[in-house]
Chain A
Amino acid sequence: MSKKTFVIVGAGQAGGQAVQTLLSEGFDGRIVVVGDERHVPYERPALSKEVLLHGEPQSASALMLPAAFYEDKGVELRLSCRASAIDREHKRVVLGGGGIGYDKLLLATGSRPRALNIPGADLDGVRFLRTIDDSVALHRCMKEGARVVIVGGGFIGLEAAAAARSMGCEVTVLEMHPNLLQRIAAPHLGRLYEDLHRANGVEIRVSSVAIGMLGNSRVEHVICSDGTMIPADVVLVGVGVVPNVELARDAGLNVEDGIVVDEFGRTSDPDIFAAGDVACHTNEYVGRRVRLESWENARNQSIGAAKAMCGRGTPYCDVPWFWSDQFDVNMQMLGLPDRWDDAVVRGDRSEMKFTVFYLRQGQIVGASMVNRGGDVTPTRKMMRERRIVDPKLLTDQAHPLRRMAASA
């Protein structure tokens, strides 16, 4: 019997991780990776940070493994190549110049930046930030004194704002909601980031909607809903992402806000798996179905799916964890709380070194660590165990969090 073929569509972090896991699990069949970028798989967190700041993809471990690794292991990389359909009946992925038969298929197609549907959004100089090429190109535009307007005050927009400001650009951030980081963080954290960026010379305009862009072929101004015209040499649109679900949806797989998978990364077709930004799973800690756009989810969901493809699945479900680095502030977040009945602070807000715990019925349902990364591990342990905690102990710095987490 001939060896099996596993096809991975998507050569981002989740796709690259799946290759590594398949190899470490001893899969000895054929592995084909199809990716529409020209690069071998890489990680994206540095693209809005170090890579953007220095313009060097190699400067920050963005590349996961060199091309030679794939060659040595006999992994077939079909780069700059887009899969156009999945023929589930014949178990084939359809590509531009033919197709590849699969025994198991992993969809790691990721997500793409959400477009801004306003007049002038197609002008030159209006950019997105998703790929290495995007990041390097944006870096080249961010010359000292350049006027950079960023539409969207989420993680991508704010990290890019910090990088642009560090390069000496004049930076304006437009956020349509009253608070920065509206989608992911509590309002007080949004205000903290507003203060941080203002202190570093970034102009922050909240409750401000971009309604158009003006210019002769190149963007020159961004028009706000209140009529303000903001001069711009370059505009970065960072208003979220859209999961690349088209292949899965057209193939008739169960798709909601992402490809629906179980804890083993399985889609509604037992031979097709999905992982990373494109997949949504029921997260028992969050209490609902979530699609996580995070480094850790791309990694661990992919590991789980690759193992399941080899028939050795271990269920993946964890307390979500995110981080963001802006200027000299490192924030890490656990959970995706949408409701809490108490919020307590450990540490010192004025020194920008504190953790906020969000509690619901005595359990920690979320936490934000600002320059206090050491609190992540013990807090996550207590969240995984759904520990009922004493809020007074959480705020008492004389009481080590580790000891609290260790005691049953």
Chain B
Amino acid sequence: MTHPSTPTVGESAAAGTWLDAGAADEVWQGEMVGVSVGGAEVLLLGLDGGVRAYEDKCPHNGGLLSKGEFCDGVVVCTRHQWEFCARTGVGLNPADTKLKEIPIRVVSGRIEVLVEDGAAR
């Protein structure tokens, strides 16, 4: 279930919409969860006391990263063992790749992510 929130003026400069992605306290530190937001698959990671968001899609061949593992600051797509730094999204193995970061904000305890228009797949 997703609930579009009212975009704040000046914050939706990119061609996208801020959409609700659930309660911030539901993403535990050190854990990750995949959510479907406005048709986009989003990976939420509890890290450094906050929440980060990436496209829930391995750049290798599109597997859901949320089905993989998140351990010691590393996200692993367990289909083919590609590894990414949870903090930056940068590929660790192989190194020449990067997860797509999704802008995120927390408003009144709710997570909102900026979903690009037409991001549904």
Contact = CB atoms under 8 A, between A and B. Distances in A.
Interface of A: 20, 46, 49-50, 60-61, 299, 321, 323, 325, 330, 332, 372-374, 376-377, 402
B69 A50 contact: no
A50 B78 contact: no
B61 interface: yes
B76 A60 contact: no
B63 to A, nearest CB: 8
Contacts of A372: 78
Contacts of A60: 61
B79 A330 contact: yes
A373 B68 contact: yes
A306 B4 CA distance: 52
Contact of B61 (A20, A46, A332, A374): A46
Contacts of B77: 373
Contacts of A373: 68, 77-81
B16 interface: no
Interface residues of B, number: 14
A325 B79 contact: yes
Interface of B: 59-61, 68-69, 71, 76-81, 94, 96
Contacts, number: 32
Contacts of A323: 79-80
Contacts of B80: 323, 373
Given A325-B79, A330-B79, A374 B60 contact: no
B79 A61 contact: no
* A-B interface, 9 closest residue pairs, ranked by CB to CB distance from nearest: A373-B78, A374-B78, A374-B69, A60-B61, A330-B79, A373-B79, A323-B80, A376-B81, A50-B61
B81 A377 contact: yes
A374 B68 contact: yes
A321 B81 CA distance: 10
Nearest to B63: A330
A334 to B, nearest CB: 11
Contacts of B78: 372-374, 376
Given A323-B79, A374-B76, 5 more contacts: A321-B81, A330-B79, A373-B79, A374-B68, A377-B76
A20 B94 CA distance: 12
Contacts of B61: 46, 49-50, 60-61
17 contacts: A20-B96, A46-B61, A60-B61, A61-B60, A61-B61, A299-B94, A323-B80, A325-B79, A330-B79, A372-B78, A373-B68, A373-B80, A373-B81, A374-B68, A374-B76, A374-B78, A402-B71
B47 to A, nearest CB: 18
Contacts of A61: 59-61
Contacts of B76: 374, 377
Chain A CB within 10 Å, residue with most, of B60, B77, B80? B80
A30 to B, nearest CB: 23
A225 B78 CA distance: 41
A286 B76 CA distance: 26
A324 to B, nearest CB: 11
Contacts of A377: 69, 76, 81
Nearest to B96: A20
A15 B76 CA distance: 26
Contacts of B81: 321, 332, 373, 376-377
Nearest to B80: A323
Nearest to A65: B96
A332 B68 CA distance: 14
B31 to A, nearest CB: 14
Contacts of B94: 299
Contacts of B71: 402
A399 B77 CA distance: 22
Contacts of A50: 61
B68 to A, nearest CB: 7
